[in-house]
Amino acid sequence: MRDDEFAAMRDFLWARLDEDETAARALKPGKNQDVAKLQARVLADVEAKRRLMDWVEEFPRRAEDNEGRVLWKRAARELWAGLSRDFRSPVIHALVAAYDGHRDFHPAWRLVEVEDEHEPREGTPRARTV
């Protein structure tokens, strides 16, 4: 996955999570326990997705933070950041796919079925890797 594509998906997802949190906090459950449970579940979902995004971004960010002054360290950092991001890109694809239909969602971000000998159970989409 290219850095600019990753950044666009990351920014899109962070904005949607902020919107989801704002909408959930705006709910006024009152005496309706179902609304209170839904609000709690949405807020927990937002927090879980934020933690996953932190994990997705952790190694590339760590590599950038530890910028090497020696050429081999710089090359190793760039290689590690790229491999790490590629390894973790299915996570961001899966998280972003939940917002298909949003006006800012790009069609290229849709999940596509990947034929593999280790297919997940039927009906479970797999993230495409770029």
pLDDT digits (tens, 9 = 90+) for 55-101: 887 765 555 555 555 565 666 666 666 666 677 788 888 999 999 99
Domain assignment present for residue 119? The answer is no
Tell me which residue range forms the domain holding 67: 3-109
Residue 17 maps to a domain: yes
How many domains does the structure of the chain reveal?
1
Number of alpha carbons in the 13 Å side-chain half-sphere of residue 84: 17
Looking at per-residue pLDDT, the higher value among 114 and 113 belongs to 113
- Residue 43 resides in a domain: yes
Kindly tell me the number of DSSP H helices and DSSP E strands found in the chain: 3, 0
Domain contains 128: no
Task: Give CA–CA dist 20/31, Å, rounded.
Answer: 22
Provide the pLDDT confidence category of residue 111 given band limits of 50, 70 and 90: confident
Q: In angstroms, rounded to a whole number, what is the distance separating the alpha carbons of residues 72 and 102?
A: 43
